[in-house]
Amino acid sequence: KAGVTQTPRYLIKTRGQQVTLSCSPISGHRSVSWYQQTPGQGLQFLFEYFSETQRNKGNFPGRFSGRQFSNSRSEMNVSTLELGDSALYLCASSLDYRDYEQFFGPGTRLTVL
Amino acid sequence: AQSVTQPDIHITVSEGASLELRCNYSYGATPYLFWYVQSPGQGLQLLLKYFSGDTLVQGIKGFEAEFKRSQSSFNLRKPSVHWSDAAEYFCAVAPTGTASKLTFGTGTRLQVTL
């Protein structure tokens, strides 16, 4: 069974631009969570989607948004990029929102110049 | 607020030596506990998890962890470290009733000397 896939793996943007990251969960998994990892703040929860609905949201500004499609694939969008948004963005999938066991993808490394 | 503390930022051990990585949590009830490993440039891989029951749990790659309620700890151990174990290790807790699915510790970077 294929694991969680994230595209692209690397991305370079400039301040003020927007970016969209994609995540395909493990087949059969319907819950997708997003995390931001930075050296300063560590791993922080962004949001979780299940059945195309956002179920939980972390403490991030409204510039960070996401969505989930009917096939459980998810995208996250960051608008008006700031230098501090440079991070590794990790996607994790689980069977459903009641399942605390998450499987992580390799991440998308975003660099904002 | 719930939190996870990994007091050791960096640990160096010799190959073949034993390893113990510390993790303490702060939470009113017994949470779900996890250990993940992250190799450079990679995502996180689940090593083991504790939900309930036997307090000594076995994981992959020869790792084990022991849940001690009285100490609010969930330390990770391995009897004999291999050079390929060099990575960053994260303890995580999944508390109920909050918006955050997983709360992670700050991580412990393990270096293995030959």
Rounded distance between C-alpha atoms, residue A7 and residue B35, angstroms: 25
- Closest residue of chain B to A96, computed from CA coordinates: B101
Mean pLDDT of A62-73: 97
B62-95 residue pLDDT tens: 999 999 999 999 999 999 999 999 999 999 998 7
CB within 8 A of A25, min separation 6: which ones? A4, A31, A32, A72, A73, A74, A91, A93
Do B107 and A42 count as a contact with CB atoms less than 8 A apart?
yes
Among A93-97, A107-111, B94-98, the range of highest mean pLDDT? A107-111
**Chain pair A-B, CB pairs under 8 angstroms:** 53
- What pLDDT score does B99 carry? 47
Do B42 and A106 count as a contact with CB atoms less than 8 A apart?
yes
If DSSP states are collapsed to H, E and C, what string results for chain A?
Answer: CCCCEEECCEEEECCCCCEEEEEECCCCCCEEEEEEEECCCEEEEEEEEECCEEEEECCCCCCEEEEECCCCCEEEEECCCCHHHCEEEEEEEECCCCCCCCEECCCEEEEEC
Largest CA distance in chain A: 38
A15-64 residue pLDDT tens: 999 999 999 999 999 999 999 999 989 999 999 999 999 998 999 999 99
Mean pLDDT of A109-113: 97
Q: If you search the block for the tokens 């962004």, which residue do you land on?
A: A46
Rounded distance between C-alpha atoms, residue A3 and residue A26, angstroms: 5
How far is the alpha carbon of A105 from chain B, nearest alpha carbon, in Å? 5
Residue B75, phi then psi, degrees to nearest 5: -85, 140
